Structure 1
Amino acid sequence: MRLAHARTADGDRPVVHLDGQWYDLRPLHAAVTPAVLGPDALAAIRSASLPAVAEPTEFAPPLTGIGKIVCIGLNYTDHAEETGATAPPEPILFMKAPDTVVGPTDDVLIPRTSVKTDYEVELAIVIGSTARYLASPDEALAHVAGYAVSNDVSERTFQIERGGQWDKGKNCETFNPFGPWIETDVADPQDLELKLWVNGDLRQNGNTKNQIFGVAHVVWYLSQFMTLYPGDVINTGTPAGVAMGRADGQFLRDGDVVELEITGLGRQRQTFRPA
C-alpha cells in the first residue's frame, strides 16, 4: 500500500494505492498525518470502499505533521571508504528540522555563499507506533509504518569546515525532498537498490544490504536515547558516490537536475536553484 498526497489545482489531496489502483483517501482522512500510520488505521484503509481516482501526475510530501527527522551518518561501508572515514562503532546521529521537507519534484535552493551543495539518496523509515527502550532489534520493525525516498541534501562547507555541528550543513531551506509516497509493504528493507543521477550521469548506485547498521538496529538503537513517535522519520544514510567523495568534486550548481530512486519506493527529480 502506498500513501501519498496528490498535488492538484485544488490543493493537495490524500490518496492511497491498492491493488494497482489509486483511491481518494478523503472519506477517511483529510490528510496523511501520523494518526494514519498506526496498524489499526492502516487496516481500516485496506478494508474501506474508497472512490477511485486517476494516477497522480505530481506529488506533494506524503506526510504532514512530521514530528522529527533523525539522520544516520556514515552508514554505508562504501561511503565511509570514499570519505576516508573509519566505519563508526555506533550510529552517528544528527537531526533535520521538519521544515526542510519539500515534495519529490520541488526545486531545491542552493544556499547563499554555498560552493559545496551535495546530494544523498537515502532510505527513509516512517515510524507508525511509539517506540521507547526497545529490548532488541527484533522488536523494531513492528514499529515501522513504511518507507520512502529522501534526498538528504547537504552543504559540506557549512557541515565540516565551519566548526560546530553537522546540523548547519543539513538544515538549509528545501534540504529534504521526501516521497513521492510511503510504501507500507516492503518485504526486505535490507535489499533495496538506491540510485541517483546528476544531469543524467549516474553518481550513486548502492544497496541497503551494505548498511553498517540496518533498519531494525537503527530503530532499536534510537529508542534507547529518544522516544520515537508516529510520524517521526529516520534517514538511514547514503551509499558511495556523493560529490564530497569524488576526486573532481562536482558539487551542485544552478540548473543542475538531480534524479533519484529506490526499489519500489518511487522516483524524485529536482532542479537546483540559487536561494
Structure 2
Amino acid sequence: MKELDLNSLPLFLAVVEAGSFTAAADRFGCTKTKVSLAIKALEQNLGLALFTRTTRQVTLTEAGQQLYQGCQPLLARLGETLGEAGASAQALSGTLRITAPADHMALSLAPAAAAFAKRHPDLNLELRSGDKVADMVREGIDLAIRMGWLKDSSLRAQKLGEFEQVLLASKGYLKEMGEPRHPSELGRHRWLEFSPLPSSLTWTFEKGDEKLQVQMHSRIKVDGTGALRSLLLAGAGLSVMARFGAQGEGELVRLLPDWRLPSGGVYAVFPPGAFVPAKVRAFVDFYRDWLAKAP
C-alpha cells in the first residue's frame, strides 16, 4: 500500500453524505474531476472499490460502508477540536446559511440575524425561507430553524425555546359565522388545516382544571404559513397559528383567549455528522438568548 493521502478522506465523506460527486464538489468549492480523481486514487491505494457507480447515482460498497463508519467519527471529532481551538483565536468568517419558516424568518430570525451580523462583520449570512426541512447537505445549509413538533426523530436538533399558539379568524368570517364562545362550538365552523402539524385536526384546549379535546373537520388543507394567513384574512375559515405570526394583522381576531393551546417548540436542526462549526454554535447560542428575551 502506498502512503495514504489523508486529504482524500474528507472528499470521500462528502461524496457519501452529499450523495454524488457533483454535490461533494460544490460542498468543497472544487471541480467534480478533482473529487473523482481523489476517490479513484484512494480506491487504488486501498485496493478496494468504495462506490458502485451508475449514470444516476453512486452507492457505497460494503468496503466503502466500513470505511465510512470508521472514519466519519474520527474526522468529525478532529474537525470539532480544530474548530474549538480556532474559534477563540479568530473572528467568525465565511458564510452561514440558515433556513426557517417564512413567518418566523420575517418576524424573529431575520432581526436576530441582523444583530448577530453586527457582532461578526467578517461573517456573511444567507437566509432562506421555507416551511419544510430541506436536504441540508445537498443545499449547503448550515442550520435550520423549525417550529412545532419534529416528526423525524432522526434529525439532529436542539430545542431553543417555545411559542404560544392562538386560535384566529377574520372579522369578516366572524360576521358571517358568529364567534365561538366555547371549544365545543368549533365543530360547526370551517377549519383550515395546516398539514405540517403531526395532529392537524385534533386540538386540546385547557382552562384551569378543564381540558377538552376537539376533533376538527376541514375542506381546505395548506402546507405554508403565508398561505394559511391569506386564507384566514380571506374569511375561508378559522385556524391556529403561532402568536407572533398573528402580530400586525388587524383583521385577525384571537378567539377563546381564556383557553390555552399546547405550546410549540423552536428547534435548531443540524446537518448529519457530529461536527458543528463554530459559526453555527455561536448563532445557536445567540438566538437562544434572543428568544428568551423576546416579548
TM-score range relative to shorter protein: under 0.3
Higher fraction of strand: 1
Higher fraction of helix: 2
Higher relative contact order (CA 8 A, sep 6+): 1
From the CA coordinates, give the structure whose radius of gyration is larger. 2
Q: What is the TM-score normalised by the length of structure 1?
A: 0.23
